Structure 1
Amino acid sequence: MFQKKYRRTLVVGIGLMLIQQLCGASGITYYSNAIFRKSGFPERLGSMIFGVFVIPKSLVGLIFVDRWGRRPLLLASAVGMSIGSLLIGVSFTLQQMNVLPELTGVFVFVNILVYFGFSAIGIGGLPWVIMSEIFPINIKVSAGTIVALTSWTSGWFVSYAFNFMFEWSAPGTFYIFAAVGGLSLIFIWMVVPETKGKSLEELQASLTGIN
């Protein structure tokens, strides 16, 4: 698995899992009530709408993935999540400046839906799809284990750290997630290949440079 020819394959798999978690989705999900409370949006209403929104959003990626391909959806997802995080950060910044404080809750809630809507079309689920497509049979189990461990470990880190970050600075937390989304866009553009319609042999040739 650690042979030089599999280096890029591992980087793609591990990198996508880090992106999926470090963009902040787990923390935002677990602490959504705290975010609504801080912004002034009704917690009960926000949790109810957010819970209903989560169910159909999971189907969005399935509908478009084979039509548009993995890479375009990942790029669009990274851009949308980054913009959503940035706008949430701006909303909290305006609240601190006492600019339209009565609208902060609405702005935050709407942009959380934007964030998770874009997450659903790409970064929320496609890393697992791509992982199943890029690893050859001889390293699929061991590489898959490392990638899954990366996902769960980074997810735990984000979930654990989110509350401390949010207490430190609500806008700063989301600006950090927006920056991670921007870096994710660069990573996907430069490193992640398109896997739609390609055989394992074709993918390995493009990833390892061996024909």
Structure 2
Amino acid sequence: MSRLEVAEENEDLRKPFLHTGSWYKMGSRQSSLMGMTSSAQILRDSSVSVVFCVLVVALGPIQFGFTCGYSSPTESGIISDLGLSLSQYSIFGSLANVGAMLGAIASGQIAEYIGRKGSLMIAAIPNVIGWVVIAIANEASFLYMGRLLGGFGVGVISYTVPVYIAEIAPQNLRGSLGAVNQLSVTIGMMLAYLFGVFVQWRMLAVIGALPCLLLIPGLFFIPESPRWLAKMGLTEDFEASLQVLRGFETDISVEVNDIKSSVAPTTKRKTISIAQLRRKRYWFPLMVGIGLMMLQQLSGINGVLFYSTTIFEDAGVSSSNVATLGVGVIQVVATAVTTWLMDKAGRRLLLIISSCSSFISLVVVAIAFYVQSYVSEDSSWHSTMAIMSLVGLVAFVVAFSLGLGAIPWLIMAEILPVSIKGLAGSVATLLNWLVSFAVTMTANLLLNWSSGGTFTIYATMMGLTIAFVTLFVPETKGRTLEEIQSSFR
């Protein structure tokens, strides 16, 4: 299709929306755009259109964060009301990770076969059902079932949203828009902490269902990923989707050709053999993506966030729920700063700064807990160490949010070649949730064993992260996805 024909068709598309506000009957061309709404199609400015799409799918990560944050303010209430033991509650908290692992296994293939929007729809439905089951639970088995269902949806969301954002964003905004994924996760956590201060755990579960209840209709108002459409050979749909995202007055011919060139080998060869994965263009980005996803969780961040109220109580902080809420607010602010810095400072530099700062913070917390265990509760040293541990924990959350929170998900979406993205993305996401499960399952038990020892283990993992990022992680700022992926050849 020539540039003039595209412009004429786009003008025809705009007229009915601008003058009548209703769908124009356009035969097969109209049906190819039914996945978009009138709201998406009248957005003429590229950044506005893309930001609108990102804000819609960001409801998924908000749900993700709410799921992670839910177990912190509700621990005492659920244990008291349902008579659970600490071990049973630890199982409840960690089952979100088990469900997420199942979702991660399926996420890549679901996203490849039915598209990014379809996989988000599949993720939203069990999420809503899971929250309803938790809200009406009268025994541990209902809690476990609801947590598994919600975790499954979170597993699919955690892979699909960063991939969708990376595939629709222009290269100059991809870092900032990609960081919105983690910003939304932190907002979800903060909301769980905030409402957890005021409402009972059953009502908090009802509130938890709201993001996905809004996401389901929102998906009808955004276009499908143009790169996925191109990979599936839906050329007209692909060009129409990209035109909506870039604006009707924008010449997309260069980007269309780049995307077509990058997906051409994929359309010819549907599967990648194990032998072909030995090529550097495949194994190196896969190794970087998996390494970052595992090390992100080995920092212990989910153990800290899931059970922050308990940790603050152990540190001697009287208003532990309020302190937890404060951590949630600080995490949102720090992640918002990362969103602004992502396309300015670069991914690699932020990762190094984040890893080093996290290491120092965790060492401070470990020292504070060690000293606190050897002094009397009535001494001034005990209160001083309580303050020191609180400051160290807050510093760790800030440091993690400055890079390790958002960037591994973004880099995974950027560097994995389109031909292996479904399978490799599923594996990377699965391992992320597998390590997260191990961390959250053992966090309470480790803290009961030794708070200082627990944070020493986490600090050691951060030392390994510094070495890994320095040696292996490339800079992806300011490059198109096609340029990044072709560089591994």
TM-score range, shorter chain: over 0.9
**Of 100, 103, 106, which aligns to 2:384?**
103
Match of 2:30 in 1: none
Residue in 1 aligned with 2:352?
75
Residue 56 (str. 1) matches residue 330 (str. 2): no
Q: Are 2:368 and 1:94 equivalent residues in the alignment?
A: no
Give the counterpart letter for 1:196 in structure 2.
Answer: K
- Hey, what's the Cα distance between the residues in 1 that align with 2:324 and 2:402? 21
- Whether the aligned pair in 2 keeps the contact of 1:78 and 1:123 (CA below 8 Å) is yes
- Offset at residue 96 of structure 1 (A): 1.7
In the alignment, which of 460, 463, 475 is matched to residue 194 of structure 1? 475
Query: 1:31-180 alignment to 2 at 5 Å?
Result: 31-42=307-318, 43-98=320-375, 100-180=381-461
Unaligned runs of 5+ in 1: none
SS, match of residue 100 in structure 1: helix
Q: Distance in 1 between matches of 2:316 and 2:479?
A: 48
1: CA distance, partners of 2:447 / 2:284: 35
Q: What do the CA deviations read for 1:3-25 (whole angstroms, capped 9, x no partner)?
A: 11211111101000011101000
Paired with 1:54 and 1:187, the residues of 2 have a C-alpha distance of 24
- Compute the displacement of 1:189 (Å): 0.5
Deviations 1:156-205 (A, max 9, x none): 11100111111111101101111100110000000111111223454335
Are the equivalent residues in 2 in contact too, given 1:40–1:104 (CA < 8 A)? no
* Partner of residue 107, structure 2: none
In 1: Cα distance, 2:290 partner to 2:461 partner? 15
Asked whether 1:30 is paired with 2:306, we answer yes
CA deviation digits over 1:5-54, x for unaligned, max 9?
21111110100001110100000001111111111012133123223223
1 CA distance for matches of 2:312 and 2:474?
A: 38
Contact (CA 8 Å) 1:14, 1:150: kept in 2 or not? yes
SS in 1 for 2:305: helix
Aligned residue type for 1:4: R
SS at the partner of 2:476?
Answer: coil
Match of 2:290 in 1: 14
Amino acid at match of 1:136: P
After superposing the two structures, state which structure 1 stretch, 120-129 or 53-62, moved more.
53-62
Detail structure 1 runs of 4+ shifted over 4 Å in the superposition.
none
Give CA deviations for 1:95-118 in whole Å, capped at 9, x if unaligned.
Answer: 122181111221111111110111
Equivalent-residue separation in structure 2 for 1:105 and 1:41 (angstroms):
7
Amino acid in structure 1 at the alignment position of 2:412: M
| Structure-2 separation of matches of 1:73 and 1:55 | 17
- Of residues 15-24 and 36-45 in structure 1, the stretch that sits farther from structure 2 once superposed is 36-45
Q: Which moved more, 1:37-46 or 1:184-193?
A: 37-46
Specify every segment of 5 or more residues in structure 2 that has no aligned partner in the other structure, as ranges: 1-271
Matched positions, count: 208
SS, match of residue 479 in structure 2: coil
Q: What is the CA–CA distance in structure 1 between the aligned matches of 2:469 and 2:408, rounded to whole Å? A: 11
The 2-side partners of 1:59 and 1:82 are apart by 21
Question: Identity rate of aligned residues, in percent?
Answer: 34
Asked if the contact 1:24–1:177 (Cα under 8 Å) also holds between the matched residues in 2, the reply is yes
CA distance in 2, matches of 1:51, 1:76: 21
SS class of match (1:123)? coil
TM-score, length basis structure 2: 0.41
- In structure 1, how many angstroms separate the alpha carbons of the residues matched to 2:337 and 2:388? 23
Structure number with greater Rg is: 2
What one-letter code is carried by the residue in structure 2 that aligns with 1:28? Answer: V
What is the distance in 2 between the residues matched to 1:123 and 1:44?
Answer: 25
AA matched with 1:80: S
CA distance in 1, matches of 2:321, 2:427: 38
